[in-house]
Copies of this chain bind each other. A is one copy, B any other.
């Protein structure tokens, strides 16, 4: 395996864009990424697209050559990768290994989702497909309900509190307020977070990530550049909650993290900045534990203490996270990497952290059946 570097990044703003279609979002991110890298579309040797369910959201399928062609990329392998909300991370995982193994010199990874043209009810139905249709979605267990059950159990087992969940929301909303490309740039107080519109006990609207449109792209290459992909690992676990021995941790994240740390030759506490998959506030807490930043059950007090704030010992979701930056599903895993690169380059503006030489992204699919962990490093 040879070194793999980040050659360029590009992102659209995340938000609800009634006048934009999936193609225009993806092309904007790709064009911006290629410009950042200083190359044209002819430099791309393979195209890896992360997209969860474009066919259901937009009626357009076969999206990889569709998007690639619109961006001027033709002839090369163009494939769509689906792993629910980890589709972007999974596309990156496969692309990373293709470059590391010597198959290609330069690969473009794009993530995109156009969600807001559907009704809220239809969006919930489409997202519910990432759970188990037989035992979950068909009996009404949409994702807010599933993660609410997970939160309740975490509260029961470890004494995690609603205030600790809300602390994630308050932090991520604050970070997003400093991110000009975030979907919601509104600072919220603890009181607001706790008294938001109820969604599924114990969640208010502020515990839930956003339904967004957006795209992100990253070009990786075999050149020995200033930001390296130190590791990337993907793992799987059962789709249905009923098939797991515990629902307060995700085996897929634990396995992927273990492999990624070994590949990079680091320990969890060496990570200096992280973007993790906060589809719900509880998911960010569990990520802190599954990634080994704290022991199981300790994430609530740790996050509430400010440890993961911009000025804390390990800034987490400096972009605002899925919670407030937005969550265009297929784009998320790629956007996390773009946001880490901005931090590592010192281009994160008002949300810039002090030290960002070793960065980690964690992208979760469904209620944890897929997880991808990527580590970036400045050599």
Contacts and interface: CB of A to CB of B under 8 A. Distances in A.
Interface of A: 47, 52-53, 55-56, 58-66, 68-69, 74-84, 90, 93-94, 97-98, 101-103, 126, 129-133, 137, 233-239, 243, 251-252, 255, 365-366, 369-370
A51 to B, nearest CB: 8
20 contacts: A52-B61, A58-B133, A59-B137, A60-B132, A61-B84, A62-B365, A62-B370, A64-B82, A64-B370, A65-B239, A65-B369, A65-B370, A69-B369, A74-B236, A79-B83, A79-B90, A79-B370, A82-B82, A94-B94, A97-B101
B61 A53 contact: yes
Instruction: Give the top 4 A-B pairs by smallest Cβ distance, nearest first.
Output: A101-B101, A61-B129, A62-B84, A78-B236
Oligomeric state, in number of copies? 2
A60 B53 CA distance: 11
B60 A129 contact: yes
Nearest to A93: B77
B80 A81 contact: yes
Contacts of A369: 62, 65-66, 69
A77 B84 CA distance: 13
Contacts of A81: 79-82
Contacts of A64: 82-83, 236, 370
B83 A132 contact: no
A130 to B, nearest CB: 4
A61 B234 contact: no
B243 A69 contact: yes
Nearest to A80: B82
A17 to B, nearest CB: 18
A75 B235 contact: yes
Given A81-B79, A97-B103, A65 B129 contact: no
Contact of A129 (B55, B131, B132): B55
Contacts of A83: 62, 64-65, 78-80
A94 B131 CA distance: 26
Contact of A60 (B79, B133, B238): B133
Contacts of A63: 82
A63 to B, nearest CB: 8
Given A77-B93, A97-B98, A238 B65 contact: yes
Contacts of A131: 62
Tell which of A82, A103, A236, A370 has the most Cβ of chain B within 10 Å: A236
Contacts of A251: 74-75
A68 B103 contact: no
Contacts of A56: 55-56
A1 to B, nearest CB: 8
